[in-house]
């Protein structure tokens, strides 16, 4: 899918003009890829890299064009099973045009950052800034999910919630690698700002982007370290919960076995013989009550030994 935008009233608006300021190609067909490569004289490898989620972040400055491959968080869906994935975005900046290549069809220009834009370079930098903010939002969500899973793990005796925690930990490793790769790209973009034609105001904005990305990396690193150090403890909690359950079950089994032993030794026939055949309606309730008392006393005795 190919969409085009123009800058109108300091915001991006859809247009059908061939001289559009911003072009967005999302989840394209092979024919659409071929058209974009020919129209903008793109490097085929760099263009295809924008649709490869395994492609590392990088920047290449060519005469009249800047090819930037940036990592961004992929939108989460329930089928991802608590695994937050990363995707790739290609930003191809020309003198008067910006081509954006993404693998999934998403709205790139929502949010407060795109309510007021004065030029093409500002759109370019705000897309980078918005990607960092997207990472920060996902980190907050991961932390909230982790807190909820921890509460469930404290009472759980199965591995489901623990496996979900492992998925979150794996997600943070992906995020750390992606954010780190983006930081090198942004640093090089800053050093090449004059060559790209960025104004003094835009260069100051890049400094803000660098600071925001560093904070994002530190936040992801803190979460990752906490997750890594607590995985063993969480696994121990599940194991301990299971051990407690087994102890309780063993206590119940023993509490049932003891009265069964006495019932096997004495039996209803012996009690009936003592009470007499005419008093069976008294013997049966007494026998049942006796077994319940013995079972309950055995269970309480076992629990008392466990506490000490």
Q: How far is CA 11 from CA 21, 127, 243, in A?
A: 12, 13, 61
Is 192 in contact with 111 (CB distance < 8 Å)?
no
Q: Note down pLDDT in tens along the chain; length 308 residues.
A: 899 999 888 888 889 988 899 999 999 999 999 999 999 999 999 999 999 999 999 999 888 899 999 999 998 877 778 899 999 999 999 989 999 999 888 888 887 878 888 889 999 999 999 999 999 999 999 999 988 887 877 666 566 777 788 889 899 999 999 999 999 999 999 998 888 888 888 899 999 999 999 999 999 999 988 887 776 656 565 566 566 666 666 666 666 666 665 556 555 555 556 555 555 566 667 667 777 776 677 767 666 665 65
Q: Which of 216, 241, 266 is the last residue of a domain?
A: 241
Q: Return d(Cα 176, Cα 187) in angstroms, integer.
A: 17
**Are 144 and 263 within one domain?**
no
Domain region containing 262: 242-307
- Look up residue 24 and give its DSSP letter: E
**Are 48 and 94 within one domain?**
yes
**Are 237 and 281 within one domain?**
no
Structural tokens at position 161: 């919630």
**Are 280 and 189 within one domain?**
no
Q: What is the dihedral of CA 6, 28, 185, 84, to 10 degrees?
A: 110
**Are 38 and 153 within one domain?**
yes
**Are 105 and 189 within one domain?**
yes
**Are 191 and 262 within one domain?**
no
**Are 93 and 209 within one domain?**
yes
- Look up residue 109 and give its DSSP letter: T
Q: Which of 241, 267, 289 is the last residue of a domain?
A: 241
**Are 29 and 85 within one domain?**
yes
**What's the number of domains the chain is made of?**
2
């Amino acid at each position: 899918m190919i969409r085009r935008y123009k800058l109108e009233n300091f915001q991006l608006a859809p247009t059908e003009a061939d001289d559009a300021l911003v072009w967005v190609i999302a989840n394209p067909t092979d024919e659409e890829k071929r058209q974009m490569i020919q129209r903008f004289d793109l490097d085929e490898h760099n263009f295809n890299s924008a649709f490869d989620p395994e492609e590392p972040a990088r920047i290449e400055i060519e005469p009249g064009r800047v090819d930037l491959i940036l990592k961004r968080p992929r939108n989460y869906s329930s089928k991802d099973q608590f695994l937050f994935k990363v995707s790739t975005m290609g930003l191809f900046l020309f003198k008067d045009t910006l081509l954006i290549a993404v693998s999934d069809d998403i709205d790139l220009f929502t949010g407060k950052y795109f309510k007021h834009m004065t030029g093409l370079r500002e759109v370019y930098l705000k897309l980078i800034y918005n990607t960092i903010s997207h990472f920060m939002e996902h980190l907050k969500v991961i932390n909230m999910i982790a807190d909820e899973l921890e509460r469930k793990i404290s009472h759980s005796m199965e591995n489901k919630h623990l496996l979900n925690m492992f998925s979150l930990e794996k997600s943070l490793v992906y995020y750390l690698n992606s954010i780190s790769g983006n930081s090198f790209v942004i640093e090089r973009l800053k050093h090449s700002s004059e060559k790209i034609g960025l104004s003094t105001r835009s260069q100051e904005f890049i400094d803000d982007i660098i600071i925001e990305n560093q904070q994002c990396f530190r936040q992801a690193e803190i979460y990752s370290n906490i997750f890594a150090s607590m995985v063993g403890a969480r696994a121990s909690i599940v194991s301990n919960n299971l051990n407690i359950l087994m102890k309780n079950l063993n206590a119940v089994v023993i509490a049932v076995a003891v009265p069964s032993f006495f019932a096997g030794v004495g039996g209803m026939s012996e009690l009936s013989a003592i009470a007499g055949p005419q008093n069976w309606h008294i013997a049966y309730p007494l026998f049942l009550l006796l077994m319940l008392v013995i079972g309950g006393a055995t269970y309480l005795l076992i629990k008392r030994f466990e506490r000490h």
